[in-house]
Structure 1
Amino acid sequence: MLPPTRARLSGLAVSLPAQYRTMEKTREEIARQSPFVPPPGALEDLTGIRGVHVREAGEQASDLAVSAATKAMAEAGVGAGDLDLLLFASCCQDLIEPATAHIVAAKLGAGCPVFDVKNACNSVLNALEVASAFIESGRYATVLIACGETPTMTTRWRVPDQEAFLRALPGYTLSDAGAALLLTAGPAGADDPGVLTTHFGADSTAWDACTVESGGSLHFRPADDEPTYIRLNGDLLRSAALDMAPRAFGRVPEELRRARESAFIAFHQISRRQYDEVLTALDLPADRCLPTVADHGNTASASLPLQLVRARESDRTEPGDQVALIGMASGFSAGLAIIRL
């Protein structure tokens, strides 16, 4: 019998576009295109965000993924020929067909099996669970998770009135980013590093609370631009995910307790207000969390890797530390992973 195997995080990286759009610049663009103009400072007050990263013209989701993947592979000392599996995990994509994972693999020069993992802002976290399961089973030993997010494409600039502005508000917080995690097989001893546990839950009856409708069978060729924008269809004041997440994690109290005890806790962030609400809802220690959303906006499924990178850069984590990743995504789904670095 083969010894137990654990998926080890051997490489981690993010790639943020150099172009940065402040909330004041966002307001100016809305004013240029819309009959409704939010008052000065309203976006900052409503979101707690100073600005977002925006891709260059012609830069694709796959390009952001490749940029981050190249750095993560270099950190792990792994070449494209060493990959056993490549997962592209993202809200966004280059094309409907084929899977964007093929485009990422071609740009990297990888010849391994590939496929996409897509579950809104939990895409990377779900891919971590998939990769970990493959590695633990012995099916693959080296798995690259590459993420490329270009959600600024769904921002609505022409808004007729205040309600339309508020329903489009999530789009003004969205930020483009690339991220990558390189996982390798290692021993699964009591003190060995790697993915220790994962847990997911969902309430799919709320799938239509926040949507981007175009690109699928529902609005394959929309007659107007409306389905191309991200739109908040539910309660304008509260995210259903904040109600669903405590219920989902309440079913696994031991895992949530372990998450709270971790040296660092990353959770998906869409605004500064939501950041504070999650701290309260899940009873998380604020001194072991990091509000990256204030400077970087909502980077979709790149949010959790971004927080891990920033924590490492600021010496908030070191090898051997236990970290927790908590995901919440439209649909709605909630996820939890605990990793020893």
Structure 2
Amino acid sequence: MKARVTGVATYLPDRRLGSDEVERRIEGYVPHAGIVERLTGVRWRHVAGDDQQASDLAVEAIRKLDPAQLDGVDLLIFASASQDMVEPATAHIVAAKLGLSCPVFDVKNACNSVLNGMQVAEALIRTGVHRKVLVCTGEVPSRAIRWRIRDRAQFVDAFAGFTLSDAGAAVVMTADPDRGVFYRDFAADSTAWAIGTLPGGGTAHPRDPEYGYFRGDGRRLKEAFELVGPDIFRNALKRTGLTWDDFAVVAVHQVALPYLRHLARLLDIPEDRLVVTLPEHGNCASATLPLQLALGGWSPGDRVALLGLGGGISLGVMLAEM
């Protein structure tokens, strides 16, 4: 038995914030005009309403699915970097808002959360534990952006936050005897965990508001990704005997356009297989890959590739026949 993606939906909040507005909103340090878009390619990002929580964005995405796709769901996984609160699992809150009574739990692994949620769902379906799993996410990173900047060093430290975007997504995976996920591989270099962090809210910094903002070093993160990969992606082709031309969509997690172009050149991914979402939607964290699936031009029976990059750091690849 295989696990096939039978439904994909996303929710993008109506409010959008342009990169020029982001730069004007920064207090204290004055960045060079246009630096955010010039370095990252991000023009716009989505911002959730003040009354919207991570669970709300997931629920909005789920409600965009065909109701028939939810019939028989026997497990809900909330897979996100964001969460409504430390306890309980946000999956419970999502299920309560939808009126679902199936088992639920959370999966968290930065921007790879949805890909890892799909990994867990596929394993549970292949082993016969579940038959239809709803993997969802609600990302609200806008709540963790540092707007008061002391100096250039702090601006660099907070820079990754200025590219982040709020979004919700839902993926339904169903048992299928004929087609579905046919390859998956994951890797990590956990010694690099400190390169990008949101330190507050855990036992290390439970109540200090100074730790409630994203911190990161984009250059070191790029170097760490290149040290672990890109062999994990090349091996997916070698082991399956496929080329990128055999896929209708090659979805790649996107943090900055220069790095996306660099990775695409490194892996020889044809430009017409990419779904470039970053300029208009920003870095949607774990909702990025589902967003590309939702916008990509594929049909039932086509192959798709999901290439994940996440803080921590972790990499993942999943190949599937839709």
- Coarse TM-score class (shorter-chain normalised): over 0.9
Matched, 1:19 2:50: no
Q: How far apart, in 2, do the equivalents of 1:87 and 1:323 lie?
A: 22
Identical amino acids, percent of aligned pairs: 45
Matched, 1:144 2:134: yes
Q: How far apart, in 2, do the equivalents of 1:142 and 1:105 lie?
A: 15
Residue 282 of structure 1: how far off its partner (Å): 2.4
Q: Which residue of 2 aligns with 1:335?
A: 316
Q: How far apart, in 2, do the equivalents of 1:15 and 1:70 lie?
A: 9
Q: Is the 8 A contact 1:241 1:330 kept in 2?
A: no
Q: Which residue of 2 aligns with 1:228?
A: 212
Q: Which residue of 1 aligns with 2:48?
A: 55
Query: Structure 2 vs 1, CA of residues 242 and 110 (structure 1 numbering), >3 Å: closer, same or farther?
Result: same
Q: Which residue of 1 aligns with 2:88?
A: 98
Residue 239 of structure 1: how far off its partner (Å): 4.5
Which structure 2 residue ranges, 5 or more long, are not aligned?
none
Matched, 1:305 2:275: no
Q: Which amino acid aligns with 2:54?
A: A
Q: Is the 8 A contact 1:202 1:248 kept in 2?
A: no
Among 67, 70, 79, the residue aligned to 1:78: 70
Structure 1 residue ranges, 4+ long, deviating more than 6 angstroms after superposition: none
Matched, 1:270 2:266: no
Query: Structure 2 vs 1, CA of residues 73 and 243 (structure 1 numbering), >3 Å: closer, same or farther?
Result: farther
What secondary structure, in the 3-state scheme, does the structure 1 residue paired with 2:22 have?
helix
Q: Which residue of 2 aligns with 1:317?
A: 298
Q: Which amino acid aligns with 1:328?
A: L
> Could you tell me the TM-score, scaled by structure 2's length?
0.95
Matched, 1:131 2:121: yes
Q: Which amino acid aligns with 1:296?
A: H
Residue 237 of structure 1: how far off its partner (Å): 8.3
Q: Is the 8 A contact 1:122 1:301 kept in 2?
A: yes
Q: Which amino acid aligns with 2:300?
A: P
Q: Which moved more, 1:230-239 or 1:258-267?
A: 230-239
Residue 152 of structure 1: how far off its partner (Å): 1.1
Q: How far apart, in 2, do the equivalents of 1:98 and 1:259 lie?
A: 43
Question: Any residues of structure 2 matched to 1:114-263 within 5 Å, and which?
Answer: 114-188=104-178, 193-222=179-208, 225-233=209-217, 235=219, 238-250=222-234, 252=236, 254-255=238-239, 258=242, 260=244, 261-263=246-248
Q: Is the 8 A contact 2:237 2:243 kept in 1?
A: no
Q: Is the 8 A contact 2:69 2:172 kept in 1?
A: no
What are the superposed Cα offsets for residues 239-271 of structure 1, whole Å, 9 maximum, x if unpaired?
Answer: 422332214345555258636231210010011
Query: Structure 2 vs 1, CA of residues 25 and 236 (structure 1 numbering), >3 Å: closer, same or farther?
Result: farther
Q: Is the 8 A contact 2:275 2:292 kept in 1?
A: yes
The number of aligned residues is: 321
Q: Is the 8 A contact 2:233 2:307 kept in 1?
A: no
Q: Which amino acid aligns with 2:276?
A: P
Q: Which amino acid aligns with 2:4?
A: R
Query: Structure 2 vs 1, CA of residues 254 and 59 (structure 1 numbering), >3 Å: closer, same or farther?
Result: same
Residue 105 of structure 1: how far off its partner (Å): 0.5
Q: How far apart, in 2, do the equivalents of 1:330 and 1:306 lie?
A: 19
> Could you tell me the TM-score, scaled by structure 1's length?
0.90
Residue 146 of structure 1: how far off its partner (Å): 0.9
Q: Which residue of 1 aligns with 2:276?
A: 291
Q: Which residue of 2 aligns with 1:6?
A: 2
Question: Any residues of structure 2 matched to 1:107-118 within 5 Å, and which?
Answer: 107-118=97-108
Which structure 1 residue ranges, 5 or more long, are not aligned?
none
